[in-house]
Each structure stands twice: as structure tokens, then as C-alpha cells.
Structure 1
């Protein structure tokens, strides 16, 4: 097996995404110690930038966990749930059900609000279950099905209940509107390799003052030492040792996050929507259709497309892989039924999807896909570089 780098691989998956050039460059920095003053200065900049990305209030505790987004998920339950707590989990896909499993492992009495795959959680179903719960947990954008859940409406309901609100922002933060302070979100997390196009291995988190107060009022020790909020605050705020952080990943995340903020979150949201519309317009005549029927419930950063009848899902994806193009199929019950096309970070650009259209022209014998895609993106009057 060759270990030569693949310079031209086209990565169209719902994560990881291609690394931003500024993050790639940051990985080449010489190593510094995790207790170095320069690293602490870098961390302070990261914290401030995360507050801006999440729409968090001044002074909100932000940090990077040394793990992927699943560690961000687990840390919320480990720190904010005690045995016997009532936790309401909204589950309409694989990651909502993962939340329920994690909450249960930390001793929660889990209540579920569900919706069929391809449909959003209904706020009225949440309202009916709110009584007596200490936490509500919601996936903002369900990666497994391409559904955008109505976070602002659910957050408004939760605010009046006294419960904490934990939000999985893995496919939204950094690419879609996220207003932590205004909506009343208490704990949010994402993964570096998603909308920010940084290398995998970090989970940016934000913790409200209300959540920290709940943490400090715990009656039992946090069972997950590695991501204990107290230990994290020792390192990130008091600059004392807790564990060795992946310094070079911090530099890469910092570069990618700055690139996102420099570009502007509204601009990033616009290009994801633009490319998504162009993909759908190009592939619809072949029989591809949106898996999520209601347009308002479609997740702009993960386009879930129902495959045409008789479409050779595994065969076509394998043929694309031979051509250095990676496309992701369905997960669990949607395997063989849908494709999930990533539109996060550096993937949400026309060039990689034009490469997909050229490959599909060859594999499906459908000429003109690339030209149709170009027209959908740029308009008939624009000249598109070859």
C-alpha cells in the first residue's frame, strides 16, 4: 500500500472536510510545550473567537477538548448530569440516539421525544414532556439524515422550564446561524473537522454560567476525569496543568477558526446554500430527490439525497473512490437509500462538486451534468474556468 500523499482527492463526505490551507500551514509549526506562555496566549484568542462563533456572551467559558465531537457530547452529560436526573433527549437520527445512550450511561432517567427519519423534532412534542426535567438535549443538525431541527423554537420552550439545554452543533456552528446567548443554550459543542475544516481531534465547547453553576452544585464527583469542567478551567483560565493538550492542533484550529470569522459566517452560509441548490438542480433530472421533504427542515450543510430507483449505490461510490472522489451513503436504516453530501467548510465550494459531476457523466453515461451544474452556480452568462 502506497503511503504517498493524495494531493487531488475530492472529499465530499459529511465529515471530515478538507483542511483549510491556513490550518494546513499551521500544522507545520515547530512544537511548543502545552504550558508555554505563547500557547496560553493562543488559547485566549481561541476562546474569544469561539464566543464569537457560538454567539456566546462575554465571559462565557469556552475551550477545546482533546477529542472529537463525540467527546464534546459525552463531556456535557458527564459534567451536568447526576444519577437519577431526568433528561429529555430529542432523537430523530443516529446522533440523537447516541445522546440518549450516553445520558443513560451517566445515570440519567432518559425520556425520548422522537420523529421519523427525515423529519424534524416537533416543538409541541418537547413541550409535552418538559415537566420535571433537569436537561433537554438536542442535535441541531442531524448528520445521519440531513435534518435541521428547530432549535430556536425548542430553546424558547426550554427557557421557561428551568432545565439546561445541551446542543449538538457539529454540523451547524461555524457555517449556520448559532445564537447561544440569545437562544438560551447552556452547553454547545462541535468537532474541529466539520464546519471549520480543521484536522480531527478537537471538540470546541461553550458552557454557560447557568451550566457552570449546575456543575459546581454537583453532589457527586464527575466520573469522566479527562473532561471534568473543573480541570479544564484550571488549564484554560488558571493556566495550571491538567493534561497535555495537542498544541499543534490548537494552532491549526486557531487558523481555521480565524479564516471562518474573516470570511464571515453569513458568507459561509450563503455558499453552502448556493452549492446545495446547484447540486439538487443538476441531479434532479436523473431521479435524485431531497430525502427531507419539507424544505425548511433540510440541513444546508449535509445534503441528503434519495437515490433513483435501481441506482447501484455501492458500485457507483466504489467507482468514484477509484477516481479519488469520496461520497458517503446512508447510515443505519438509510443505507442504500440516500447519499449524504457534505457542504461544510472547504467542501462547500463549486470546484469539488464539479469534479463529481464530471465523474458521474462518465459513470452514468449522462453528458452535460458539469455544464448544468456550472449554469446553476454561476449563471449562463458567466464563464467557468476549465
Structure 2
């Protein structure tokens, strides 16, 4: 298994690494840069658009530029990048499963809960980088310049979080195996919680201790966080109650991990509904609702607006169906991961569930905090 994984990783590196060297225009500029690195580069510089321009990577005002400037990238995701990140995620999950086997780690359910704080931590760190683009350099000691800030931009932040979590796990194992703690899970959870608290404290510091600057500081609208967590919890509780009442077999495999999965996806769904439909009503200084950054979000919103009459969407908005999609997808995941899957491959199963939580709660945390602090 380990050799097969190494061969797969080597093949991916060879295709895109050597391909970028041998065919720099076709492979690197028109694919790797256009769909992967270009959006990161534009985001890291706070640009709306970046043009390839024979490798100079210049700022442009729109995606419509002269043909000689090559591909144009903008912050966010495309369908190509999302598929690519999904492939990278699967490869990384297999690698993590192999690593856990080598570290001789068991009790995966407890490991899942111990790693939970690291999921919103990733979203919070992303917001700290977002603030870095909004505030002037003298606003705080948290300011990062290019290329260091790319470590906190997707997809590199996933690698950053991987190595950060791995370091915390190794420290927790050392603490436990040297007799300083009864288990490794509690020290691991404590480190994740401490880092999450420190990151949130840094964001609050930017919001309340940078007056006198232009822009002076971040705004703070706690109603966004309160409504997001409240509605997400209500949606999760209602969904879980219906499952327990009418289809209890769905929850038999995952148990309360399934509840956490549904809640994480609900946070993502509700944060999108609030940001895309109700932001300008909830935040007085906002001139418009936020724009979807993921192709799937935009597709669901556009589809709802096309199917439902304007008389309905004028009242309900057109992003609420995204929450339904997230809930249905989460329930499907919980149903698929039955007891048989846990018994056959518990290590990989729990890593996959953690990844599913991360792709919901991570972006949901970022969207919620960005809207809360008007980043």
C-alpha cells in the first residue's frame, strides 16, 4: 500500500512538474497557473484579477485583456481547481492513514473529536490572512507579505494545517508515551483549542485595537455569528431528530460523529444563506450581499433563481437551497458510512469523515467570520 501511494504521488509530480518544464505555456501557464497558482497569487496581493503576461503576473482590472497577456486568474475557485483539490485530498488522506498506522494510533473515534478544533482553526487563520489584505501594513503585527501569506490561502493552507496538526499530534503522542498524560487525545485537543483561541483573539485585536488608521479597523457584527450558529444548530437538531424518528439505521455506523458532520455542513450552508441573501439587511454598512466564491454555490443559487418565480425569491432569497443541498449531502455521507465500513477500514474511514467535516466547517467558519468582521 505504501509503495503504491508513493508511486501515485511520484506520477502526479512527474506529470505536472516535468510537464511544466517541458511545456511551460501549455501545462504551466494555461493550466497550473491559470486554475491553481494564479488565483492564489491574485488573492495574496489583494487583486481582483492577475494576468500571466509571459510570467510577469501583472494586475489587470478585468478578465477581458489583450490576447497577448495570456490567461487571467482571479481569487476563488473554478471547477478545475475544485476537482484537482479533491484528487489531492484523496491522495493526502491515504498518506495520513499510512502515517497513523506507522505511529500505531488507534481509538479513532476519540481521535476524530480531538482533531475537531483544528477544523475551525483553518477557517480562522484564513480570515486572519483576509484581514491582512484589508488593513494597512502598520495595522498590526499579524501582517504578512507575499509569499509568506500564500501559506494561509487555499490550497496551500491545507498543507499548512496538515503539518501544523501533525506537529501537534507528535507532541501529544510524546507527552502521553512519556507518562505526562494518560491519553494523547486530551493534549491534542487542548493544543488545537489554544491555537483556535489565539487566532480568534488576533482577529478581535484587529477589530478593536487599530483605530486611527485608514481603514481604521475591522468592523464587528456578532449578529452574523449568533444567527449562523443558531440556525445551523437548529437545522442539525431537526435533521437528527427526523433521522432518529424515521430512519435510525442511518446513524448506526457513525453515531454522534454523524451529528458533528451534519452540523459542520449546516454551518457552511447557513453562512452562505446569510452572506448571499441577507447580508445587506443585517449589516448596515454593507451595500450589497456577498458573492459566492465556489462554482457549486453559484450554480445552486443561480438554478434556484431561475426555477422559482421572482415573487418567491424576493422574500426567501435564492441561496436557501444550498443549505438543503448541504444537509442532504451530509445525511447521505452518514448513511454511507455504516458499521461494515468502519470494521473493514476504520483508519481510513475516520480520516475521510474528518476531511468531509473540514470541507464543510472550514469554509463555513471562514465565511461566518469574514461576514462578522466585515473582511
* TM-score computed with the length of structure 1 as normaliser: 0.24
Higher relative contact order (CA 8 A, sep 6+): 1
* TM-score computed with the length of structure 2 as normaliser: 0.24
Structure number with the higher strand fraction is: 1
Structure number with the higher helix fraction is: 2
